[in-house]
A and B are shown apart, each in its own frame.
Chain A
Amino acid sequence: EADIYQTPRYLVIGTGKKITLECSQTMGHDKMYWYQQDPGMELHLIHYSYGVNSTEKGDLSSESTVSRIRTEHFPLTLESARPSHTSQYLCASSPEDEAYTGELFFGEGSRLTVL
């Protein structure tokens, strides 16, 4: 079992609310990622970080923001949620560059529903 945790697992909120999805890992991995997953679709990278104070936007345009103040913590924030943000959000970490043999370790996901 990978030591990467996401909270909350499920969240239902109203439009316009600010939300933060938490992600923590205890493996000491430098690299962390946020993916968005919709039913029947491929995972889309929305943010990634290669270390403390390093954050980059991914391939999928997202109105969310991330921060990486500590190695183990990579929270994702939506300032004003909209129904289009309804989705499954997966956090992952990797001990090395995923393009080589590095394996992604995923959290269990946060399912967000915006009414």
Chain B
Amino acid sequence: KNQVEQSPQSLIILEGKNCTLQCNYTVSPFSNLRWYKQDTGRGPVSLTIMTFSENTKSNGRYTATLDADTKQSSLHITASQLSDSASYICVVSDRGSTLGRLYFGRGTQLTVWP
């Protein structure tokens, strides 16, 4: 079972609408959580990082939240644009080994329609 689960698997919204993507994880001990955006045919690009002590962080129209107690994170996109169409990947890092490792979710495929 993957230690990072994302939902929904895919999502279609109209331009201008808001949406929220979810990431639940079981990784322990927790170090940090990153949200990446991956455009079709491109490599992932980091949007934001959440550490244990952070609850909310914004990057333009993207707002990430983290609840370390329930091991849940969300990525909220406000006033969606066509360019937001992409896969959004949640990546959690642990501190279990000397150098840690990364756990990837399968991503949420977001499609924004005009």
Contacts and interface: CB of A to CB of B under 8 A. Distances in A.
- Do A and B originate from a single complex? yes
Interface of A: 2, 4, 40-45, 59, 90, 92, 97-101, 103-104, 106-109
17 contacts: A40-B9, A41-B106, A42-B4, A42-B106, A43-B44, A43-B89, A45-B102, A59-B101, A90-B43, A98-B102, A100-B31, A100-B100, A101-B32, A103-B34, A104-B102, A108-B41, A109-B41
A59 B44 CA distance: 20
B94 interface: yes
A106 B99 contact: no
Contact of B43 (A41, A97, A101, A108): A108
Interface in B31-80: 31-32, 34, 36, 41-46, 49, 51
Given A106-B43, A108-B41, A109-B42, A99 B99 contact: yes
A99 B31 contact: yes
Contacts of A108: 41-43
A98 to B, nearest CB: 6
B93 A98 contact: yes
Contacts of B89: 42-43
Contacts of A100: 31-32, 93, 100
B100 A99 contact: yes
A9 B13 CA distance: 30
A3 B24 CA distance: 32
A72 B31 CA distance: 28
A108 B43 CA distance: 4
B106 A40 contact: yes
A106 B100 contact: no
Nearest to A91: B43
A106 B41 CA distance: 12
Contact of A43 (B31, B99, B104): B104
Given A42-B2, A99-B100, A99-B101, 19 more contacts: A2-B43, A40-B106, A42-B4, A42-B89, A42-B104, A42-B105, A42-B107, A43-B104, A90-B43, A97-B100, A98-B93, A99-B94, A99-B102, A100-B93, A101-B32, A101-B51, A104-B46, A104-B91, A109-B41
